[in-house]
Each structure stands twice: as structure tokens, then as C-alpha cells.
């Protein structure tokens, strides 16, 4: 058996780029040999094994044959006769089709090193077009390496456009779309992901709710700033979707449509809706009266979920700074408003409800009096801060 490090780990090592990927290909091996050496098989469609100590994935060299629609429409064949070059040929981009042997030598049958040097994202073979998921993957790699000067090869962009025209993007399943979207929102330049999809025609097919946004420079979200400011993907998603339409009710309906189709996690849905709904109030908090400030806390359920409220404030701050073309600052209006809301929330959460219950208040009467007391606390805060 011969074992090779492949894919992203080799690519990023040559780029001197941080990487957490470590995938291995085993040439000349059998499942029985792997199991005998302590590897644990986890693959169903093709033999993939976990290393007994590192738990890295080791896959037997394989070839693939298209059998149906979508990214699952493949049959895989693995045997000791399959060469490393055959295995690498089925990969998406030349920069991902390199391997490193145990002596540290690079095996590069398809020109990946030259494309790395020239900063080009180029497909390995025409088999690229058999998997529609690669439309999203290329867009995501473009977003990741845009700051290094990477561009998509003209022939690869033409192939992406052809795949979209042939309807292949329509066969992508929600789970894989969401997975790629979530990853793209964490890349260096996530907006590039959407621009690539728009350029090849896939944005209107995969993310129709976003297509009008990326057709209008004024409405495009400050995604780059969101990545620079935080590593919370849910916050980045809220920044992305905060203004899908100029009317708030239409925006909320579009958020519901997008998240339902992609089967987004509930925390993403709730944060996106609340950010869109209360963005204006949050950035104008310094101009609101005590009753209006408490209404924001109450409507966002900030008293019970302060962590999520902090996410809302962060998303609103990023959006406001992006709209004003400003870098993160502790002195800007958005920060002043955020700090005021944090202070108001902290003050009302510290109020001791026992003061009211010990006086015999309960039920509806308790709730009404508690609300009055909390608004009074915020009013005192506003007076003290001028």
C-alpha cells in the first residue's frame, strides 16, 4: 500500500495558507488490509476509514461513474489497481488534485502548482460538470482566495454557465446548499461567493431571494466587515438577509422563504428575522424614550435570551458601519446605541422582582407593575447618561 496526503492540505501547504484539512488516499490497498491495521471503516458508498489514533480520513483510491442526477448520482469503484492519477482525475479543481507522498514529494499530474502560481481556479476535466455541487464549491474557493488574487479560469466559468443552463443547479439538495452557504459566510470575502453565482446564472436558481440584492450595489450587505468583526456565522447570515426588500414585511417573508427551502437551523432563522425587524430601532436607540427602549428589549426577548440579543446588536452594528463605509469603532453612533441597549438590559435584569411579590402582587398585576418599574429604571438610566 502507498499512502498520500491529498487535496486541501497539499494546496494550502504550497500556498503557505492556514489549513485544518487532512485527507489521505490509499493506493493499492483493500478494506481487509485497512481493518487489519486498526482502521475503522465509515464509508457506505465507498471505502473510507478512520485512522486508529489521529482519526483522519483515509480513502481507498477510487473512480466514479455518473449514474443519475445531482451530487448523489454516482457509483464509485475502488480496487488495488486504481492509480493515484486516476483518483486525482475525479477531483474538482487542479489546485485540489495534487498529492504528497511520504517523502514529501508533490505529485501533480494536472498542473495544480502552475495554477497556484498563476492564481487560477481551473477544473481538472470535463467530469467536473457531472456534479452540480461544484458550482457552489468553486464560488466558495473564489471567496476564500480572492484576497490572494485568484480568478476563475475562463473555460471553467463557461462550464459553470453551461451547467446552470442545463438545469444542473436545480438538482442541488437543501442540506448541501446550506453547508456550502454556511462555509462561504466564513470565508475571507463572502460577497465574492454570491457574485460568482450571479455571474454564472446560479444565484437566481439557488438563492432567488438574494439575486435582487446582488444586482443593486446600494443594497449589498457589508459581508466583508462581518467576517472581520466576528466569527459567528449566524450573525453573518443576519447581515446577509437584513434587507432583502425595502419593505420590512416583504423582507421577513423572503427570509422565511429562503430559510424554509434551505432548512436552516432555528437559531439562524430567529436571529435573521429579529435583526431585520429591529435594525432601525437598535441603531437609533440613543434617540428613543424609555418606553420604546424597553419595547425593543421585550420584543426581542432580550431578558430571557441575552446572548442572542448580543448577536442582534453585533449584526446591527456591522450593518450600520457598512452602510456608512466605516471600520469598527467604539466611538461611532452604532456603538453608542449598542452600549445603551446593553446598559438598559443589564439594569432591568438586576431588578429584584421579590420587591413586588413580597408586596402581594401576582399574575397580571405583577406583570403590569414589573413592566412599569423596568421602564422607570431605563428612564433613570437615560436621565443619568444625559
Q: pLDDT tens digits for 14-56? A: 999 988 878 999 999 999 999 999 999 997 667 899 999 999 9
- Its pTM stands at 0.88
Over its C-alpha atoms, the chain yields an Rg (Å, rounded) of 26
C-alpha cell at 226: 462581518
- Domain coordinates of the chain in residue numbers? 1-110, 228-386
Residues in a beta bridge with 76: 64
Per-residue pLDDT at 74: 57
Model confidence at 332, pLDDT cuts 50, 70, 90, reads very low
Give pLDDT, residue 335: 60
Interatomic CA distance for residues 35 and 23, integer angstroms: 18
1-110 adopts what CATH topology? Beta Polymerase; domain 2 (3.30.460)
Instruction: Write the pLDDT tens digit of every residue in 226-246.
Output: 888 888 999 999 999 999 999
Q: Please give the backbone phi and psi of residue 300, each rounded to the nearest 5 degrees, phi first.
A: -90, 0
Residue 331 has pLDDT above 50, yes or no: no
Higher pLDDT, 385 or 74: 385
Task: Assess whether pLDDT exceeds 70 at residue 11.
Answer: yes
43/236 Cα distance (integer angstroms) = 33
Whether residue 347 contacts residue 244, with contact meaning beta carbons closer than 8 Å, is answered with no
* 33-47, 56-70, 198-212, 310-324: range with lowest mean pLDDT: 56-70
pLDDT, average across residues 150-171: 97
Mean pLDDT to the nearest integer, 220-231: 85
CA angle 45, 47, 49 (to 5 degrees): 130
Amino acid at each position: 500500500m502507498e499512502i498520500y496526503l491529498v487535496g486541501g492540505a497539499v494546496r494550502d501547504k504550497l500556498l503557505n495558507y492556514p489549513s485544518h484539512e487532512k485527507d489521505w488516499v490509499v493506493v493499492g490497498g483493500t478494506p481487509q488490509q485497512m481493518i487489519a491495521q486498526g482502521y475503522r471503516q465509515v464509508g457506505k458508498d465507498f471505502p473510507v476509514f478512520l485512522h486508529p489514533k489521529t482519526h483522519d480520513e483515509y480513502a481507498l483510491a477510487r473512480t466514479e461513474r455518473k449514474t443519475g442526477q445531482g451530487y448523489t448520482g454516482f457509483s464509485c469503484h475502488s480496487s488495488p489497481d486504481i492509480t493515484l492519477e486516476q483518483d486525482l482525475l475525479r477531483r474538482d479543481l487542479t489546485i485540489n488534485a495534487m498529492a504528497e507522498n511520504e517523502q514529501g514529494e508533490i505529485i501533480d499530474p494536472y498542473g495544480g502548482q502552475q495554477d497556484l502560481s498563476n492564481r487560477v481556479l481551473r477544473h481538472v476535466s470535463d467530469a467536473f460538470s457531472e456534479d452540480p455541487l461544484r458550482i457552489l464549491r468553486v464560488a466558495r474557493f473564489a471567496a476564500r482566495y480572492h484576497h490572494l488574487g485568484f480568478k476563475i479560469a475562463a473555460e471553467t466559468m463557461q462550464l459553470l454557465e453551461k451547467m446552470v443552463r442545463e438545469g444542473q443547479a436545480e438538482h442541488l439538495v437543501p442540506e448541501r446548499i446550506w453547508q456550502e452557504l454556511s462555509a462561504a459566510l466564513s470565508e475571507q470575502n463572502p460577497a465574492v461567493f454570491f457574485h460568482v453565482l450571479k455571474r454564472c446564472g446560479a444565484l437566481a436558481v439557488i438563492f432567488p431571494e438574494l439575486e435582487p440584492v446582488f444586482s443593486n450595489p446600494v443594497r449589498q450587505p457589508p459581508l466583508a466587515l462581518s467576517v472581520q468583526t466576528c466569527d459567528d456565522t449566524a450573525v453573518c447570515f443576519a447581515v446577509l438577509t437584513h434587507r432583502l426588500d425595502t419593505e420590512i414585511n416583504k423582507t421577513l417573508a423572503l427570509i422565511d422563504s429562503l430559510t424554509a427551502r434551505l432548512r436552516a437551523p432555528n437559531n439562524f432563522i430567529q436571529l435573521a428575522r429579529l435583526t431585520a425587524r429591529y435594525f432601525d430601532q437598535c441603531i437609533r436607540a440613543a434617540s428613543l424614550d424609555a418606553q420604546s427602549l424597553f419595547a425593543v428589549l421585550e420584543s426581542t426577548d432580550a431578558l430571557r435570551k441575552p446572548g442572542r440579543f448580543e448577536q442582534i446588536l453585533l449584526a446591527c452594528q456591522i450593518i450600520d458601519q457598512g452602510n456608512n463605509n466605516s471600520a469598527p469603532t467604539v466611538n461611532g453612533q452604532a456603538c453608542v446605541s449598542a452600549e445603551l441597549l446593553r446598559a438598559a438590559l443589564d439594569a432591568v435584569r438586576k431588578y429584584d422582582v421579590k420587591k413586588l411579590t413580597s408586596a402581594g402582587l401576582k399574575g397580571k398585576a405583577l406583570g403590569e407593575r414589573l413592566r412599569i418599574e423596568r421602564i422607570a429604571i431605563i428612564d433613570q438610566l437615560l436621565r443619568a447618561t444625559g
